[in-house]
Amino acid sequence: MKKHTYKNLKRIAAALFLLLAAAKLHAQEAVEAVTEAVAEAAKVDTGNTAWIIVATVLVLMMTIPGLALFYGGLVRQKNLLSIIMQCFVLVGVITILWVAFGYSWVFGSGFMETGSPLGFFIGGFDKVFLRGVTVGTLLPGANIPETLFALFQCMFAIITPALIIGAFAERVKFGGYLLFIVLWSIVVYNPLAHWVWGGGWLGELGAIDFAGGTVVHVNAGISALVMAIMLGKRKGYRYGRPAAPHNVAFVFIGAAFLWLGWFGFNAGSGLAADGLAANAFLVTHLSTAAAAVTWMAIDWIRNGKPTTVGACTGAVAGLVAITPAAGTVDVLGAFAIGAASSAVCFFMVAVVKTKLKYDDSLDAFGVHGVGGIIGSILTGVFATRLITGDGGQQGALYGDWHQLWVQTAATAATIAYSAVLTVILFYIVDKLVGIRVSARVEEEGLDVYEHGEASYG
């Protein structure tokens, strides 16, 4: 009996040994699996990275040469180079400011983590000159280098103030313009971008702004209107009879670059090469097409001829309006937003501007401001869970009226902040260096007097 018991104990001991060995082996395998998963998560997603590199290039093309040619073709020949120079210099100046502290102000977290009151306006100084952002630093979720994300966002910081140029074209000093734009980017664009994209209160409120409806277009458009009103009309400008564009071909080429570049602007804002990017690409194109055709049709009916400038302007209105909604609407929303924005922007440009008698030179407010407002609010109508997924945001059309209220509140806050700060900055800059050129310079052209050059020979 003892012998039998001894054998049983040996067998139990052997079994326990085998179990412990197996457990140890499984534990090692589990550790290795976890380690491998962590290592995989820390790897650069080459597909996402390649796409955002392309998207970054596309967004840069929107300012130079896109906006420079679009605006440049619309002004008179004597002011073409002033527009090109204003667009071109922004790329250099804003890039330096963005890397120095702009990116940190928008996407940093130093002030927010410490509970500083400044955290309401800016993220912090923890990423000044991209401190701590190395080659191996990845953006969580998208697994793209953070350096690339910073550069992608830099392109948004560049084009936003460039849009304002259209309101005061042909009548501002280059020095005054430059000082105003620098200050505006620091105290208007950076805080607003932080509110929406950097973890600020508008983002926490649940406002949808996929690619810049409020941050870019409403913001720039309202500032454009304020500047146009405070500067006063151009010398010799007659309300309802705008000066003829000096080069319609430039307008077309610029609009074509904007249409192309906007795919990077919108489809790139999801930061991944996935289905959401594909949908953003689709709805951006559809909205633009609907807007261009709508504007052309109204132009044809009202004025008897379909114009190239009109079709191009309509396309830009559609691009603007779909921007905040590109990550949340489907085909129905895209078509409705494109057609509605084109019709309302046409009315603002052709009727309201003349009635209210303000000289928005190239309709920066009429297209970007109004288009941005329409797009931001209609996002709260047409957002759908077919795109945002189960539990995602949806608009009033699908039963969520709260989202429409949030979009309206975010739009109103953007309008108020942008308008008030622009008025203050105008007075500061005008007092320091002056903004408007003299009557003689305006009469003979900014190209020669401000830059010492002529655009054609």
Global pTM? Answer: 0.89
DSSP states along 355-421: HHT---TT-IIIIIIHHHHHHHHHHHHH--HHHH-TT----GGGT-HHHHHHHHHHHHHHHHHHHHH
User: Measured between alpha carbons, how far is 376 from 7 in angstroms, rounded to an integer?
Assistant: 80
pLDDT in tens, the chain (457 residues): 444 455 555 666 666 666 666 666 665 654 454 444 444 456 899 999 999 999 999 999 999 999 999 999 999 999 999 999 999 999 999 999 999 999 999 999 988 888 888 889 999 999 999 999 998 899 988 899 999 999 999 999 999 999 999 999 999 999 999 999 999 999 999 999 999 999 999 999 999 999 999 999 999 999 999 999 999 998 887 776 778 899 999 999 999 999 999 999 999 999 999 999 999 999 999 999 999 999 999 999 999 999 999 999 999 999 999 999 999 999 999 999 999 999 999 999 999 999 999 999 999 999 999 999 999 999 999 999 999 999 899 999 999 999 999 999 999 999 999 999 999 999 999 999 999 999 999 999 999 999 999 988 7
138, β-bridge pairs: 145
Report the distance separating Cα 2 and Cα 371, nearest Å. 93
pLDDT of residue 40: 46
Residue 236 pLDDT = 81
Per-residue pLDDT at 42? 65
Q: How many CB atoms lie within 10 A of CB 300?
A: 14
The four Cα atoms 419, 420, 421, 425 give a dihedral, to 10 degrees, of 100
- Strand 138-139 and strand 144-145: the pairing is antiparallel
pLDDT number for residue 433: 95
**For residue 177, what are its two tokens?**
């313009």
Q: How far apart are CA 207 and CA 204, in angstroms?
A: 8
Round to whole Å and give the CA distance between 449 and 108. Answer: 42
The three-class DSSP label of residue 269 is: helix
Can you give the pLDDT at residue 17?
66
Q: What is the DSSP string of 306-356?
A: --HHHHHHHHHHHHHHHTTTTTT--HHHHHHHHHHHHHHHHHIIIIIHHHH
Query: Residue length, the chain?
Result: 457
Q: Which amino acid, residue 257?
A: F
